[in-house]
Structure formats: C-alpha cells, structure tokens
Amino acid sequence: MFQAYDSIIIGAGISGAAIAYELSKKGYKTLNLDALAAAGQGSTGNTCAIIRTHYSTLEGTAIAYDSYFSWKEWGKYIGVDDEKGLAKFYQTGLVNFSNEDFDATKYMEFHEELGIPCEVWDREKLLERMPHFVDDSFYPPKRPEDSAFNDPAKGKIKSIVVYYPNDGYINDPVLSVHNIQRAAESRGAEFRFKAEVTEIRKNESGVLGVTLTGGEKIDAPVVVNAAGPHSFVINRMAGVEKQMKIKTRALRHEVHFVPSPDTFSYEKKGMVVGDADLGGYHRPETGNLILVGSEDPACDKRDWIDNPDKFDREVTNAQYQAQTYRLAKRIPDLKIPNKPTGIADLYDVSDDWIPIYDKSDLKGFYIAIGTSGNQYKNGPVIGHILAEIIHACENGHDHDNSPVQIPLRNIDFILNSGFFSRNREIIKGSSFSVLG
C-alpha cells in the first residue's frame, strides 16, 4: 500500500519538532500533526526555558549537558536560515541553594564525573554577586496564610551554594521550535496545524496510522506520541497505557512576573536562582522583569488535571502571593503589583518525574513523554534519542531486551536509553519534583 509518510509525529512542541528534525536527517519522511495553530503553542510556549545541568541522576545530567552545546551553538545546530530569526541563549549562570534537608553539592559529583564546570560559593560570594539578597534562612517554605509565615528568620541559609557558569535561559521558546521546524522542513519534513488526532489505527501487526477530527485518515508505519500533557490521552487511544509500568498525568503550574527592584537590575546583572530554602526559582525576564516559579514545596497543594483541554489558564491571586511573597523574603526591596501577571500551563508528569523515551507494546508506536516540567532544555537530545530508538527498532532491534546504546553527540558519554524505559522501576534517586 502507498504511504506518503514513514512517520507521523503527534505534537509540534520542542519534542515533536526535534524528533522530526532528527528522523529527517536519517532520511525518514515525517509529518507532524498538531491540534494548535503553529509550532510550540502547547506547553513549550509557556516554558520558563531555563537551561541547566543539575539533575538528580547521571543520565539526566549527561543529556542536559549534551543539549547545552546545541543551545550554545544554536545556529550551527539549526543549520538553516529562519525568516523569523534565531532564538537566543542568555548564559547568565545559575546559583543553587541548599536547605536543611537538601545539600546542593549532591549534584556536583555528576558534574565532576562529566567535566561540567561548577563552583562552591560561600555566603559572602553570593552577596557580592547578588547584593540585593538577604542571606537569612526561612526554611521550610510556607504559604502566606500560615500564621508562621512572618516568623523571624531561623539564622542564615546553609553556607554553601553552588554556581553553574554554563546555565541560563532561552529568550523565546516558541521561536526556538519554529527554528527546528524550519530545519526539519529543509530536510523534507512536513508540518500540519489545526490537525487534531482523534484515533490511532492499528491491527494485529502494529500501528497503521491516525484519524483526524473530520475523519481524514493518514497512514504511516511509525507513529510517535509527543503530545506533551495530552500524552496519556494519546496512549489510551493507542491502547498502550495499561501495559506501561510508568504512567503520566498533567499537573497545572503557575509562574508570575514582577518588576526588578530599584536596587538591582535583573536585565543587566540578573542570573537564574534556584532557592531551595524558599522552595522557588527565579530568573531575569524581558523588560527588566523577574520571572518567579515554584519548586513545588510541600505546603503547596498539587493541582492534578484530569482533562488537559479544560483547566484554568488564569493565574490565581493565592498562588501569585505565595510565590512572590516568598521571593520578597530573599529580596526585601521587591515590589509586588496588586494585580497578578503570569501564566498557567501544564507539566506532563511521570510517576518518578523522569521522562519516558521509548517504544511501546504496539509495534511502530513510540513515546516521548513525561517531561515533568524539566525537559524543554533537552529538546535537541530528545530528537536524537527517539530517532536512534526508532531507527534501531524499525530495523529489527529488540530494544526491550537490549536497550539501544546511544553515543551522545557533544560529550563523551554513551547513554543506555533503557534508563528512560516505560517499564523501568521507579528511579529512587529522582528528586520527584520539577528538578528531575
């Protein structure tokens, strides 16, 4: 039977676009289908786009470091012109705090093993670089409605913080996905938007293709689930979810914007800060703003979403106050506007907050899901991993019993891709949080 495509990729976020690019490089004719109007309009469009290497596992650290080189040399990675220009990587550096229950130096051993630069700073060094901070400890994080919220500080933050000079953020994540789309198209890839998949068609031999709203059927021997927070919906359509040991679900998250304090310009001197003492993170944002996010401290109730098509996209006063009032403890000069601004979107969270990059029990159906609020930065390597797994399996390799070993392209590391298996045991070393 004639088939116009070797592979259909459901989703055109950072994952789906990068998979298309890497499969196209291998000579596959790919088609990305996305329900939205353009590339990167799903959760990728609302990512904080922080590029960092500290992860709780060696494999997580390695793939983040490998991707860092693609961001650093973005024009080279993309390899073609984009009429909209290229996304930019602001390498501001990142400082990571410890707290009573967590030692930020834990990540350093993986950095040493992989040769990634990082330094230990004492409190004096921190205040030299970020003079608008107070170095008091407020741990554990609390909500503003807690009567103990305004209790005096309990001494100083743990004296050691870790500085990662390679880290930073991408200025325009939607543009970065558009860049990858153009790179993939230059290799023959096709993208269709406003094209919602409503059915995965299959028979006893494997996947056959997909059906779109309106009934159009498109066939291909390979279908990839890169549907972000809709990953579980697509897995159920394909009938593969029940057999997977690790599953995914959608978690709503808010980030907020506040102005830089008068005493310190984040535009000129800001960097990314992971403040485990206050359970949050922040980074500079265009317009001399600060973007304020949360590391899900225990006091904040997790907002699991059953239907990823129906959730509140407005930020709430309560969460705005929780995240910005906590930051105001670190930055007493912080000005907090009365009216909240920010975004609310979904993480696609796996049971252990580590992604699933794998085949499935349905022949020809692959998954790049469970990105757990922390895999935008790994887009380039996600494309590479999936392309290698798909290519090996489509050529008869038994990936379940002998996971594909993937030499990373920018660092000297052979990734055992079985680490990201759908059938792994829960990875106990995970942070079980957005930190991965």
Ligand X SMILES: Cc1cc2nc3c(=O)[nH]c(=O)nc-3n(C[C@H](O)[C@H](O)[C@H](O)COP(=O)(O)OP(=O)(O)OC[C@H]3O[C@@H](n4cnc5c(N)ncnc54)[C@H](O)[C@@H]3O)c2cc1C
Q: Does 377 bind ligand X (CB under 6 A)?
A: yes
* Residues 370, 347: Cα–Cα separation, whole Å: 8
Q: Does 371 bind ligand X (CB under 6 A)?
A: yes
* Residues 380, 184: Cα–Cα separation, whole Å: 12
Give whichever of 13 and 279 is closer to ligand X, judged by the CB atom: 13
Q: Does 278 bind ligand X (CB under 6 A)?
A: no
Binding piece for ligand X, criterion CB under 6 A, among 113-121, 296-304, 321-329, 374-382? 374-382
Give whichever of 52 and 158 is closer to ligand X, judged by the CB atom: 52
Beta bridge partners of 136: 156
Q: Does 170 bind ligand X (CB under 6 A)?
A: no
Q: Does 223 bind ligand X (CB under 6 A)?
A: no
Quote the least distance from Cβ 156 to ligand X, whole Å.
28
Query: Are β-strands 414-416 and 405-407 bridged in parallel, bridged antiparallel, or unpaired?
Result: antiparallel
Contact call for residues 284 and 290 (beta carbons, < 8 A): yes
Contact call for residues 423 and 370 (beta carbons, < 8 A): no
Question: What is the DSSP code string of 70-119?
Answer: HHHTHHHHH-S--TT----EE---EEE--BTTB-GGGGHHHHHHHT---E
Q: Does 406 bind ligand X (CB under 6 A)?
A: no
Quote the least distance from Cβ 113 to ligand X, whole Å.
21
# residues contacting ligand X (CB under 6 A): 38
Contact call for residues 2 and 26 (beta carbons, < 8 A): no
Q: DSSP assignment, residue 169?
A: E
* Residues 346, 312: Cα–Cα separation, whole Å: 10
Give whichever of 229 and 279 is closer to ligand X, judged by the CB atom: 229
The binding track of 330-359 with respect to ligand X, each residue x by CB under 6 A or -, is: ---------------xxx------------
Q: Does 190 bind ligand X (CB under 6 A)?
A: no
14-33 binders of ligand X (CB under 6 A): 14-16, 33
Give whichever of 28 and 71 is closer to ligand X, judged by the CB atom: 71
Q: Does 141 bind ligand X (CB under 6 A)?
A: no
The position carrying tokens 């353009």 is: 38
Give whichever of 137 and 225 is closer to ligand X, judged by the CB atom: 225
Q: Which of 24, 44, 99, 360 binds ligand X (CB under 6 A)?
A: 44
* Residues 302, 381: Cα–Cα separation, whole Å: 29
The position carrying tokens 């506040």 is: 258
Q: Which of 136, 185, 190, 196 binds ligand X (CB under 6 A)?
A: 196
SS3 content of the chain, % helix, strand, coil (to 5): 25, 25, 45
Q: Which of 7, 24, 30, 47 binds ligand X (CB under 6 A)?
A: 47
Q: Does 11 bind ligand X (CB under 6 A)?
A: yes
Beta bridge partners of 201: 209
Q: Does 43 bind ligand X (CB under 6 A)?
A: yes
The number of residues making up the chain comes to 436
Single-letter code of the amino acid located at 196? E
Quote the least distance from Cβ 96 to ligand X, whole Å.
14
Judged by the rule CB under 6 A, the positions of this chain that interact with ligand X are 10-16, 33-36, 41-44, 46-50, 196-197, 226-230, 253, 255, 345-347, 371, 373-377
